[in-house]
Amino acid sequence: MDFPKQGMSKDEVLSTLKGRQRGDADWRHGRTFSLVYYAGPEALDVLYEASRAYFSENALNPMAFPGLRQCETDVVSLTAAMLHHPDAAGTMTTGGTESILMAVKTAREWARATKPHITHPEMIVPITVHPAFEKAAAYFDVKSVHIPVGDDFRADIHAARSLINENTILVVGSSPQYPHGVVDPITELAALAQEHGILCHVDACLGGFLLPWLEKLGYPVPPFDFRVPGVTSMSADVHKYGYAAKGASVVLYRERELRKYQFVAYADWPGGLYGSPSMCGTRAGGPIAAAWAIMHHLGEAGYLRVTGESMTTARRLMDGINAIPGLYVFGDPVGSVFGFGARDIDIFALSEAMDARGWHLDRLQRPAGLHMMITPAHAPLVEKILSDLREATEQIRRDGTLAEGAAAMYGALGTMDDRGTVSEFILNFLDNIDAR
């Protein structure tokens, strides 16, 4: 593609972009079950306007834009209070991955300062934990050691205990984990970390803005936040169930001194003194302002309302899926995120059949399944979703349909024992995704 010789008009540019959206997933009408968290048109308008207000501002220099700095301070403070430790110190990041990277980097630097004898640091993480921890392992040279999960898909605490050794610096649990929506045994994991004098991070990127409101609504929620002794850091995404604009997340530390290990300072640059709190240099102002705006727009009453709608809808869907012969929900999901599998049909053939009906469900592996993340946008669609699932399941069972194309390949890759070959396939896919 050649660089354009002449610029396009505003109308031409916008028309082209809108044309490219025609083939995108229809998240506004509840046709997706991940990636977009939608709280309705009014909330979306608030996000647009807040983002526009701080569109050009840059949080790189906190002195240049004190209004933006105050927005970030407020978001961190409100998140800390919501997670039951108002004195927690933290920063905003661009998303859950960056928050997780920062937590692992902090643990590594803390260990270098307090446990200098550890030269090959390790962290123990459930096999179901977010892959961002694998990214952190690769970036920061902290070995990830996987905790197996039990039949309930929660981290096996007995296995975790056996995996800790003299190199372990960090224990991790999810609240909830993404594939099956269950909460790991945070109390036990944190106690294990405390027993060994090491750090414990709770990845609440998915549940940080969900579980607190579920608890207030009276749903049973296991201990997961700073009320648990031994939890030293947490991550929570405002752009997930906080319904903020992409990308906005918060990483929090129980002690302010711990947060300092996250920062980078460089005093000898001819361009001036340099300090950076997180991975990014330039930090977009729009997502920070939008996070502040949506938290104040919804408030506690608004979050209770949208969380209640999401949970009611999710329970109806889970009950409906369990009532379809051959389908079953994995484990005991705590919130409005869950996965489900099939006993006697090809689950990936079902995913293709649902794709053909206009629904976009993520695929799971080990065990094979489909994934749903529920928001208020799905509330009016419950009967239609269940009807299509029932019809597609019956058709696949009747015809003996097997997955084809990409879905079949995905299923085959999920069952291969040689995971190195699968990883190489993923790398080649990424390398060729922009091929023309």
Range of the domain at 253: 48-295
Tens-digit pLDDT string for the chain (436 aa): 788 888 989 999 899 888 888 877 776 776 777 778 888 889 999 999 999 999 888 888 878 889 999 999 999 999 999 999 999 999 999 999 999 999 999 999 999 999 999 999 999 999 999 999 999 999 999 999 999 999 999 999 999 999 999 999 999 999 999 999 999 999 999 999 999 999 999 999 999 999 999 999 999 999 999 999 999 999 999 999 999 999 899 999 999 999 999 999 989 999 988 888 898 888 989 999 999 999 999 999 999 999 999 999 999 999 999 999 999 999 999 999 999 999 999 999 999 999 999 898 999 988 999 999 999 999 999 999 999 999 999 999 988 877 666 655 555 556 666 657 766 766 666 566 565 5
Total of domains in the chain:
1
pLDDT at 407: 57
Burial class (CB in 10 A: 0-12, 13-18, 19+), 122: buried
Confidence (pLDDT) at 371: 95
**Amino acid of residue 73:** T
Q: Does residue 228 fall inside a structural domain?
A: yes
| Domain CATH number, residue 138 | 3.40.640.10
For residue 206, what are the CA distances in angstroms to 186, 238, 250?
A: 15, 9, 12
With 0-12 / 13-18 / 19 or more C-beta atoms within 10 angstroms meaning exposed / middle / buried, residue 416 is exposed
Please check whether residue 263 lies inside any domain of the structure. yes
Is 376 a domain residue?
A: no
357-396 tens-digit pLDDT: 989 899 998 899 999 999 999 999 999 999 999 999 999 9
Examine residue 314 and state whether it is found in any structural domain, yes or no: no
Q: Within a domain: residue 179?
A: yes
pTM value is 0.89
Q: What angle do CA 145, 149, 151 make, to 5 degrees?
A: 165
Considering the domain boundaries, does residue 104 fall inside one?
yes
Q: Using one digit for the tens of pLDDT, what is the confidence trace for 121-160?
A: 999 999 999 999 999 999 999 999 999 999 999 999 999 9
Contact 109, 278 (CB under 8 A): no
Whether residue 72 lies inside any domain: the answer is yes
* Structural domain contains residue 330: no
Buried b / exposed e over 222-254, threshold 16 CB at 10 Å, is bebbbebebbbbbbbbbbbbbbbbbbbbbbbbb
Is residue 26 within 8 Å of residue 33, measured between CB atoms?
no
Instruction: Identify the burial level of 86 via C-beta atoms within 10 angstroms of its C-beta, where 0-12 means exposed, 13-18 middle and 19 or more buried.
Output: exposed
